[in-house]
Structure 1
Amino acid sequence: MKNLIILSVIILLSHNLFSQKSERIGIIDMEYILSQMDEYKLANEQLDEKMSNWKDEIELRSKYILKLKDSLDLEKPLLTKELIEDRLSEIEFEQKSLKNYTEKRFGVNGDWVVQELLLIKPIQDQVLNVVQKIAKQRKFDKIFDQSADAIVLYSEKKYDISELVLSSLLRDKKISELNLEFDDDKLNSEKEEKKKLLEEKKAEKEKDFKSRRELILKQREEKRKAYQKKRDSLLNSRKKQKN
């Protein structure tokens, strides 16, 4: 009985050792793979361009608010209480508008998150699909990403399959391009249509901004004229009282 137990333990240990030895491990560097992909570079450029435009808009609005504040500080001694309150209300409105815009663009669930998902995640998913395909074909048990949170302190070069993943992506891309070779006219037409839509949206945005700006300037001019009228009336009254 004792010998049987010892034999069972030896068999169990041997099985575990065999399982450990047979496990196949692979390593990839996701950051390196993505950096070599033209699609990823283009997506990053598009995202950077959008974020740059949003930052420019924020800067423009911030400067406008600062200008309103400076103007109020300079003219405050000459303004009536009512006009001062109007100016303060306008500044408060612009500040709230700026805060909402900043939150909408760069908040936790802002447009930059949505754009990142739309532009970059599909490319990451494409890489992951190729990794899974290679894992099944080459019978890998585990594949770690050394550029992510996985703790990989050291690995031999032979375990790194990043170049293999890149080669597979390139091959899939060439096949895809070959399949689309006879559909160039349709693709070009879609590109032109997309470009036209983008230009229309850009023009509409510029028109909206211009209209909004003109409205603000018009309101400010009306307030200035009203103030000037009151001021002239006040000065005339004082002159009459002196005479």
Structure 2
Amino acid sequence: MKKIALIVTILFTAVQTYAQKIGVVDTNYVLSKLPQYKEAEARLNTQVTQWQSDLQRLQAEYERKREAFENEKVLLLGDQLKLREKEVLDLETNIRNTIGGRFGSNGEINQLRSNLTKPYQDQIWNAIKTVSTKNNLGIVLDKSNNISVIFLDKKYDYTEAVLNLLGKTLPKAEEIKTNTRPGVNNTKGQSGKSGLKSKNAVMQQRKATATESADQK
């Protein structure tokens, strides 16, 4: 009986596993379609371009000073020679530190890009979970992460479903800009007007009281 129960359990598990629906989502495509991410990425790329220009100017300065030092060091003596040599070495060290600190594998650019994508990756993951629950998916593959999909029926590709869900839940870039414009919240202006009306009413009441007192006299 135990063997029969074990066989039934194995068969039931196999059937359940086989019955699970498998879906595919291209997370890189979804990420590239989010307007908020595209704007943030554009700002980061602008910063990277600026850093690259700064590095190129630094390298050009180093090459110029190194060449001048090589040509003139036979004429330099004592402290002057050491000072010029130190200047070239300091520039070389600065370039090396800049490349490693900003453009290296653990550099500032990679850290900024990781910080940039993480919030959106979390939102995409939550959307994938929602779509998976709605469509009874047991397994979801990310075809943007080096997964070779030889053939895929479109009905198993849930990329657009995830993107549409994010489009409904995330604020649009235009709405964010509108809400952050000065003067959108008119609460202060309304309260100012109410306060002005109250002051006018008090002044009128005081004038009326003064007039009545004068008449009585």
Q: Deviations over 1:68-95 (max 9, x none)?
A: 1122233334322432221001111111
Given that residues 27 and 160 in structure 1 are in contact (C-alpha distance below 8 angstroms), is that contact kept between their aligned partners in structure 2? yes
Distance in 2 (alpha carbons) for counterparts of 1:156 and 1:101 = 48
- Pairwise CA distance, 1:10: 6.5
Q: Which amino acid aligns with 2:153?
A: E
SS of residue in 2 equivalent to 1:85:
helix
Given that residues 25 and 141 in structure 1 are in contact (C-alpha distance below 8 angstroms), is that contact kept between their aligned partners in structure 2? yes
- Percent same amino acid at aligned positions? 23
1:90 partnered with 2:87:
yes
Measured on the aligned residues, the alpha-carbon RMSD in Å equals: 2.7
More helix by share: 1
Distance in 2 (alpha carbons) for counterparts of 1:24 and 1:54 = 47
Q: Which amino acid aligns with 1:60?
A: R
- Match for 2:40 among 28, 40, 43? 43
Runs of 4+, deviation exceeding 4 Å: 4-10
Q: Structure with the greater relative contact order (CA < 8 A, sep ≥ 6): 1 or 2?
A: 2
TM-score (norm 2): 0.72
Given that residues 68 and 91 in structure 1 are in contact (C-alpha distance below 8 angstroms), is that contact kept between their aligned partners in structure 2? yes
- Pairwise CA distance, 1:152: 3.6
5 Å-filtered alignment, 1:70-149, equals 70-149=67-146
Question: What residue is the counterpart of 1:23 in the other structure?
Answer: 20
Distance in 2 (alpha carbons) for counterparts of 1:51 and 1:77 = 40
Aligned residues: 181
The range that moved more, 151-160 or 164-173, is 151-160
Residues 60/159 of structure 1: CA separation in 2 closer, same or farther (3 Å cut): same
SS of residue in 1 equivalent to 2:137:
coil
Structure number with greater Rg is: 2
Residues 83/142 of structure 1: CA separation in 2 closer, same or farther (3 Å cut): same
Q: Which runs of 5+ in 2 are unaligned?
A: 183-217
TM-score (norm 1): 0.65
Question: What residue is the counterpart of 1:169 in the other structure?
Answer: 166
Q: Which amino acid aligns with 1:188?
A: R
Q: Which amino acid aligns with 2:151?
A: Y
- Pairwise CA distance, 1:12: 4.2
Q: Which amino acid aligns with 2:120?
A: I
